[in-house]
Structure 1
Amino acid sequence: MKNNASAVSDFNAELKLKGFKAYEVDSKAAGHNYSRKDFYKISLTSGKFVFHYADRSFETDEPILFFGNPRIPYSCEIVKPTPDGYACLFTEDFLKLSERSESLLQSPLFKIGGTPILKLDKKQKGTIAAIFQKMIVDQDSTYAYKDELIRNYINLIIHEALKMQPSENVAGEKNAAQRITSVFLELLERQFPIESTERPLQLKTAQDFAQNLAVHVNHLNSSVKEVTGKPTTAHIADRIISEAKALLQHTDWSVTEIAYALGFEYPTYFNNFFKKKTGQIPKAIRAMHL
């Protein structure tokens, strides 16, 4: 029998290879670790929870269907132990093979301004559970077109959810400025580390983050400054510089590749930005660690 670390490693490897994984949630198990910046999540659970999603919180104590977007920070506080349920993780590339699928990912279920939690009655829970059960069986089958079949199951769950009335049981905010700042900082951090030159940094400005969080950029800036004492742009710049140093020290990427990976249109812009912030050019940092 494999130990837990080995099982988690196998789970992650399979998920990355296939772009999809469905599984039964065991309340007695430690659960699966995965990178939310890469995977969408749909889960069916029962119990009492407080979900924190972007700058809002939701309380629930009945069966719910949850939709997690990898670009939106979320967390869950378990108030009452979680009974067994089902979940699936999938990449955007796995699902988005048609315009229809692309539009579903832009639905209110996954958008930051929407509602990611749906309360289910007994009949709805049974319907969704049956779809998850089919997913789990078919993902291990030898059926030649099982990927397309699983995409259909995911789309079916999304369509069933869109027909339901979204829950709006939003818990009171403790401090709006602290909440939005926490969300911004977590979203900033989730973009790192940069692991491939083919997946460059997406959110690079305060306006980018404000649009992603569905708030006005002035509100984001004032909240971050109030809580941390530093402007939004300073946090972004500091994190980019930190990542740039790590890439210069620990990869064999060229300075041009690092510039593009960090979202700079031209290497010259990166060189000027780096020197302004550190007083040195990128090549000097690399030379120190050769």
Structure 2
Amino acid sequence: MKHPAKEFQVLNTVTDYARFYGLPAPAHPLLTVIDLDYARCLPRVATPVVQQLYTVALKRGLKGGTIYYGRQSYDFREGVLFFLGPGQVFAADETLDVSQIEGLMLVFHPDLLLKHPLGKKIGSFGFFSYQANEALHLSAKEEDLLKNLLQGIRAEYELPIDAFSQDVLVAQLDVLLSYANRFYHRQFLTRRTAGHDLLTRFEALLTGYFAREAEQPLPSVQYFADSLHVSPAYLSDMLRSLTGQNTQQHIHHHLIEKAKRLLLTTSLSINETAFQLGFEYPQYFTRLFKSKTGQTPAAFRFSAQ
């Protein structure tokens, strides 16, 4: 039985995010810090959003309604800090009350991290996965600490960009996420994960597969379906209904993100990169990479130098 189709708005860049929500144009192409009290007077957006971005929000004053993250609700009302990861669905119902919201929200693109160790480490942070479905509780002192870090990130990207800008921004972001990881583990260390949810298990399986360093074959839809004990058609229908993308599209997204990291952090040739990723023919890798990014692997590597 097929799942009913849904309309999804895909936000691929920080600029897309700002335009969609009616926010000021970002001062930096790969990240922005937003004052949440600005959202009080913005028009409501009910369309489910798939954002290929990371979000860290430090908020107070959000009332009523429900936020949906994937297929389940996200309990944001009591906690202060919450997170959203790339490629995942976010939606809010019409009863959500933002009239008293305040705080700061950081939105950043994965490409910001590609040349840095944080680009690899961020995949290990459980608070960006579907397993995290409630906001974190913070003390007043912890909240002030994170607020100062967010304000420091904004102060840095508002300076003229120079050869050190990205390194400084990523270093500040690393500190912010390290504190978040400490607070996350303190709150959820003894809790069981939502391991029985098919979407959660698929996400964990996909992330784990592409985190491996060794050369390995390209994963197929059949591989993930077999691992999850469902049919390929059911898996793709389920993913499409919940995220707007089928299984192959999820595989390609993770594949391209790993390819970007290899291109920018190793000295492998284009052909060697293709073989490392599991392609039998490098020209197929080049064709897929260009179709997803608009650039050949060689052009992408050159443009990032």
Task: Please state which band the TM-score falls in when normalised by the shorter chain.
Answer: 0.5 to 0.7
Which residue is 1:70 aligned to? 86
Alpha-carbon separation, structure 2, partners of 1:115 and 1:44: 15
Alpha-carbon separation, structure 2, partners of 1:209 and 1:60: 32
Counterpart pick for 2:71 among 26, 43, 55: 55
State the identity %: 11
1:156 aligns with 2:167: no
1:21 aligns with 2:32: yes
Task: Provide Cα deviations, 1:69-95, integer angstroms capped at 9, x if missing partner.
Answer: 112223244643251221122121212
Which residue is 1:146 aligned to? 165
Structure with the bigger RCO (C-alpha within 8 Å, sep 6+) is: 2
- C-alpha displacement at 1:61, in angstroms? 2.2
- Larger deviation: 73-82 or 61-70? 73-82
Structure 1 residues 142 and 231: CA distance shift in structure 2, 3 A: closer
Structure 1 residues 209 and 152: CA distance shift in structure 2, 3 A: farther
Q: Is residue 76–residue 82 contact of structure 2 (8 Å, CA) maintained in 1? A: no
RMSD of aligned Cα (Å): 4.9
**Pairing of 1:271-282 with structure 2 (within 5 A):** none
- Decide which structure has the larger Cα Rg and report it: 1
Relative to the length of structure 2, the TM-score reads 0.50
Alpha-carbon separation, structure 2, partners of 1:74 and 1:261: 27
Alpha-carbon separation, structure 2, partners of 1:40 and 1:143: 22
Structure 1 residues 208 and 22: CA distance shift in structure 2, 3 A: farther
Q: Is residue 52–residue 109 contact of structure 2 (8 Å, CA) maintained in 1? A: yes
- Larger deviation: 18-27 or 110-119? 110-119
Which residue is 1:268 aligned to? none
Q: Is residue 39–residue 90 contact of structure 1 (8 Å, CA) maintained in 2? A: yes
Structure 1 residues 208 and 88: CA distance shift in structure 2, 3 A: farther
Counterpart pick for 2:56 among 33, 42, 48: 42
Aligned length: 207
Letter in 2 for 1:104: I
Q: Is residue 180–residue 220 contact of structure 1 (8 Å, CA) maintained in 2? A: no
Which residue is 2:102 aligned to? 84
Letter in 2 for 1:146: S
Unaligned runs of 5+ in 2: 1-15, 192-196, 203-217, 250-282, 292-305
Structure 1 residues 42 and 116: CA distance shift in structure 2, 3 A: farther
Structure 1 residues 11 and 28: CA distance shift in structure 2, 3 A: closer
Unaligned runs of 5+ in 1: 171-178, 185-201, 240-255, 265-290
Q: Is residue 39–residue 91 contact of structure 1 (8 Å, CA) maintained in 2? A: yes
Alpha-carbon separation, structure 1, partners of 2:127 and 2:77: 20
Structure 1 residues 42 and 100: CA distance shift in structure 2, 3 A: same
- C-alpha displacement at 1:217, in angstroms? 4.3
Alpha-carbon separation, structure 2, partners of 1:158 and 1:263: 32
Alpha-carbon separation, structure 2, partners of 1:84 and 1:13: 20
**Pairing of 1:116-265 with structure 2 (within 5 A):** 117-142=135-160, 144=162, 145-164=164-183, 165-166=186-187, 205=221, 208=224, 216-218=228-230, 236=246, 260-261=287-288
Alpha-carbon separation, structure 2, partners of 1:150 and 1:260: 33
- C-alpha displacement at 1:161, in angstroms? 1.0
- Larger deviation: 80-89 or 24-33? 24-33
* Residue aligned with 2:129, SS: coil
Task: Provide Cα deviations, 1:38-88, integer angstroms capped at 9, x if missing partner.
Answer: 311111112236332223323232342222111222324464325122112
Alpha-carbon separation, structure 1, partners of 2:234 and 2:26: 43
Letter in 1 for 2:81: L
Relative to the length of structure 1, the TM-score reads 0.53
